[in-house]
Structure 1
Amino acid sequence: MSAADEILDIVDENDHVVRQASRGEAYEKGLRHRCAFILARDADDRVFVHRRTATKMVFPSRYDMFVGGVVGAGESYDDAALREAEEELGVSGLPRPVPLFSFLYEPEGGGRGWWSRVYEVRCALPVSPQVEEIDWHTFLDEEELDRRVAESAAGGGWVWTPDGLAAYERLKAVRARGA
């Protein structure tokens, strides 16, 4: 089965399931679905950052500070977060990612976007990223990550996934309120 054939829950503006559709149909028609975003930190508290492969259906060859992906039909956000983190990092035995918050990502160019749940997980294991998903990776401390994000906002540097940037900005705002 190809990624485009994967069945997803299609949800309304309140994140309630209204029907199911293939991933391909959801992307083609801009149907609102669910995604899990996981910020993975190593034992030194650095953030896993990667460049997506050129073959990705959404945001190919862009950089991201989250691993994750779509939540399958009938799958919980929590189960999807653990599955996606282990798959993309190429590890098994991760602790369950900790849920931080949810938000509705709505793309600037239109479409209905996706409900997004943001998580964090500590990965002390050596990573072996999934080659179908990730073509380059590193771990960056938050200062370096913030510098790279600022460079991009100024029109230079890495081109980031817009949904990952939206999740990261919200994460920083949540942490600033809690500090």
Structure 2
Amino acid sequence: MMYWLTLTNKGYQTYIDSLSTIEKEKIILEKLTVDFVAPGEQQPETDHKILQEKSRTGNANQQFFREASSEGYFSYEMKTNAETELSLMVRYWGAEWGGRKFDIYIDDEKLLTEDNTGRWNQSKFQDIRYKIPSSMVQGKNHIRVKFQSIPGNTAGAVYFIRLVKRVDDSAIKD
């Protein structure tokens, strides 16, 4: 059995335009990316010198992830290329269950506490950007990004981690 996508002329144009917009956004994001980790994949984790305790990997929604529970953690060494205006971009799944409260550290200095418990309740990926203060990366070519679960919670699941150059949001949605 075969299925064919059928669209009106207007629907077809809308579909093509949406694909073009998505592709342009991917290209811009790649240009802004300083370093990228694909958690749960062996080579990228090895390349980024993973450290972990009470952490596990899995595959959901056709992507690999990593998470840590029972006060566990996972961390990666990431290149900054001596950039000081950086943000941390993290991909989460928007319909996680259970406690998802955890701390994010940059070189053992707490960046923030995140709580994704029931945050979105949408079955789609959520890409969240966290501004990294320049003082946390000043004079460094590498930083260690750590996700630490809070007691009774799980850190993650994290589907990707990017260090990206900070720009005005209007530049991204060109």
TM-score, normalization: structure 2? 0.28
The structure with the largest helix share of the pair is 1
Higher relative contact order (CA 8 A, sep 6+): 2
- Larger Rg computed on CA atoms: 2
TM-score, normalization: structure 1? 0.28
